[in-house]
Amino acid sequence: MPSSPSRRRLLQVAGGGLVAAPLAYGGWQWLAPRGGSGVQGPSTGTTTGKPASAGSGQAYLHVIAHADDGIYFMNPDLEQSIRSGALSVTVCMTSGESDGRNAAPKTPQFKTLPTDRPAFARARINGLRAAHALMATGDDNSPWSVEPVELLPGFRSELHYLQAAPHCQLIYMGLCEARYVSVPRPVSMRGLWLGAIEQLPTLPGTGSTVRMPRAYTRDQLTDALVAAIARVNPTVIRTLDPTPLHAPRETVAMMSAPTILRGLSYLDHQDHTASARFMQAAMERFWGAGKGRPASVTNYFGYPTNYTPPSLDAATTRRTAQLLNAYGWVDHRDCGDPSGCGDLKVGPNGLKAGGAGWARGTRTRTPGTSRWVAPLKDGRLAAFAVLSGAVRCWVERTAGKGPWAGPFDVVGSAGGPLDPQVEVARHPDGTLQLFATRTVLPFKGQKHHKELVCAVQSGVGADGVPKFGAWSSLGTPDASGDKSLETGYPATAVAPDGTVHVLARNWAGDIALRSGAGGKDWGPWQLLDHPPGKQPPHPLVVEGIDALVDPAGLLHVVAPIAKTLLHWVSAAPGEVPKLSAPTGLTPSGSAVSLVADGRGGVSAVYRLAGTAQVAMASPKGSGAAWSVVRRAPIGGYGRVSAARLGGSGGSGGSLVLAARDNQGRVVPSSRESSAPDAWEVPGVQFVGIAGAAQDASGRGVLTVIGTDGQLYASRQTGPGARFGEWAVAAKDSVGSRA
């Protein structure tokens, strides 16, 4: 057991009042594993050693529905957070009791097992503890301690923390799960969210001292999550996907469900979606009260990763398999609990459960682009990021050099928290325009929907900080509220005449375009064409499109689909792009970035599926297939930032890239080469995607939001040269202004 001061420092909360519930007999230990030494052992897999973290001030909050969700869908980010040594708390909302039989379906053991839901819930908790212990200490049998915690008065949950690594914590709320992926069931988080039930009960696991079930109303569950945010005071919040992809056909069960439970059928588990939506409501409530420090948010795909090409390399997938083996009790270790020491439904089949995609893909709902940093009219760079649901801005004090000032609140509320990323478009006259999406929750008489929003720069204040007008809505390609929720993250491109093009994925998986002269006077949404022949597979485009206007004024669009990349280009300036000949490219494991090729054309930068290797591809000629130049693999996942610096009219100039490596760090490249040394010294761990721009001295500048919520920047030592050291951009606290 750690010393009392250290333990209190980690277990008590900032913000007052929310502490582990005191008991007369003190904290209780929940069956420490037999033979578990609690001594830190070596880690295996791709995350070895302690990764470089952004700073000492970070804290992580992960909110999941079921015990295995974080392992499947949030790794490798989850393990990197745990191994950083910073406070890492995972809130598991349901008991995960399922059918109450801890055995793989279709096995003899499954057929003979009686239903025991509390015991199966307990076995899943033990499995998750083993996986987290393996991530934190290298020993899946490292002992845990457990204490009751009251997020709300009278509502007791379980707080678990590793004795050898008390910063690694789990909170089990124990709500009853839906027990079906998509079959409507009133007694579920979805039923509570929609109002089919007024209260959702808990189901304590066998052996838990939280013996008395309680029932949460919708407000109480939201407030409990608000309390969890206040407890951790996180700089990074991770949830599942609140707006997943719909299924191609409605289920019979959905069509015959009570009216209040009807709706679209989705490809994700209903508990995943409901947990993320409750967390959205909690964040809106928490931030709306002006609480907490700036926090970034990431929403991860769940089951729909099966419908996308694999995004992780073989080494990272093997590490996930190791963690799933610990969770699935493959070694049949004796943890001292007769309920079971893991989830045998997963067992040794972690890489096969539900399809290969779960463990081989990490995808985020809002992948962002590198266009969140741009020069103001006077040449000073300005960077924009969504923190705690609002846009924050940093600006260079002097053009072409640091330090920066900020963060500042430069644009008012959009009527609720914005989704996690923001994009900035620069008009020909140097005026900036911000683009983002926001999800409107079904409260206060509002219908649940998503919309694209934008705000135009109105000037620069006396303090040198840009000012913006009010947010205005661009709507979405789909008028229906339910369908609008699946609107993809937007890509923008600005034409030489000042026309701003906004493109986004619609509900059906097609790409929609809306254009406006000067970033206003918007025309209607128009759909781009899709491949001819039979109906395209569902979904055609999942996420991760990009757009660019070439020197001739032609608008290019690229989008990843299951088997290749699609490319559209306009025949003349101002015309709607048309689908080009097949690119012939193999599938992408990431969102795609479009960049000028330096010869008047375009290149696509993306990760090759299943390898995490960065590829750059360009068309061999008009209407011809694309050729690929491969760069050295660096691991990691997600969109690669790309920017073409210098040159004139799209010709010449140098290419700058930045990507995430296997330890979650930003890695720059300033050489247009496929040699291994094209990738430079890694920087800090970060969230989202790196920003890329050229400063007033012609040097490339890369920016990231660190896991501590601060802006970090690295600048080339000279035009075309290698990047210098990563450092906090705003070295002093300037404060913020409305």
Measuring CA to CA, which residue among 173, 291, 289, 155 is closest to residue 232?
291
Measuring CA to CA, which residue among 169, 140, 180 is closest to residue 11?
169
> What pLDDT sits at residue 105?
87
**Token pair listed for 601:** 């054309």
Contact call for residues 173 and 17 (beta carbons, < 8 A) = no
56 pLDDT tier (thresholds 50, 70, 90): low
**Token pair listed for 120:** 């199966």
pLDDT in tens, 531-580: 887 677 777 898 999 999 999 999 999 999 999 999 999 999 999 999 99
Q: Which residues contact 643 (CB under 8 A, 6 or more apart)?
A: 370, 595, 655, 656, 692, 693, 694, 700
Q: What average pLDDT is seen over the chain?
A: 89
**Token pair listed for 525:** 């949404």
Measuring CA to CA, which residue among 431, 310, 393 is closest to residue 691?
393
With tokens 């809306």, the residue in question is 514
Q: Is the pLDDT of residue 34 over 50?
A: no
Give the whole-angstrom CA distance, residue 244 versus residue 542.
10
Q: Is the pLDDT of residue 195 over 90?
A: yes
Q: Is the pLDDT of residue 49 over 90?
A: no
224 pLDDT tier (thresholds 50, 70, 90): very high
Any idea where the domains of the chain sit in the sequence? 4-360, 373-728
Q: Is the pLDDT of residue 71 over 90?
A: yes
Cis peptide before 76 (omega within 30 of 0): yes
With tokens 């890695």, the residue in question is 667
Neighbours of 249 (CB within 10 A): 9
Q: List the beta strands (DSSP E) in 104-251.
A: 144-152, 155-162, 168-175, 200-201, 215-216, 236-240
Give the whole-angstrom CA distance, residue 29 versus residue 161.
10
> What pLDDT sits at residue 652?
66
Contact call for residues 693 and 375 (beta carbons, < 8 A) = yes
* Residue type (1 letter), 113: L
* Residue type (1 letter), 258: P
> What pLDDT sits at residue 488?
96
434, with CB counted inside 10 A (0-12, 13-18, 19+), is buried
**Does residue 216 sit in helix, strand or coil?**
strand
Contact call for residues 383 and 432 (beta carbons, < 8 A) = no
User: Poorest-confidence range of 22-26, 451-455, 508-512, 611-615?
Assistant: 22-26
16 pLDDT tier (thresholds 50, 70, 90): very low
631 pLDDT tier (thresholds 50, 70, 90): confident
> What pLDDT sits at residue 4?
36
Measuring CA to CA, which residue among 269, 267, 297 is closest to residue 63?
297
17, with CB counted inside 10 A (0-12, 13-18, 19+), is exposed
Highest mean pLDDT of the ranges 36-40, 123-127, 306-310:
123-127
Q: Is the pLDDT of residue 125 over 80?
A: yes
> What pLDDT sits at residue 25?
24
Contact call for residues 273 and 266 (beta carbons, < 8 A) = yes
> What pLDDT sits at residue 350?
77
Helices 270-288 and 218-232, packing angle to 10 deg? 70
Q: Is the pLDDT of residue 736 over 70?
A: no
Evaluate whether the domain defined by 373-728 bears CATH number 2.120.10.10. Answer: yes
> What pLDDT sits at residue 586?
95
**Does residue 228 sit in helix, strand or coil?**
helix
> What pLDDT sits at residue 621?
80
* Residue type (1 letter), 56: S
Q: Is the pLDDT of residue 17 over 60?
A: no
Model-level pTM? 0.92
More confident residue, 632 or 204: 204
Q: Is the pLDDT of residue 36 over 80?
A: no
Contact call for residues 485 and 243 (beta carbons, < 8 A) = yes
Q: Indicate the pairing of strand 155-162 with strand 168-175.
A: antiparallel
Q: Is the pLDDT of residue 252 over 80?
A: no
Q: Is the pLDDT of residue 172 over 80?
A: yes
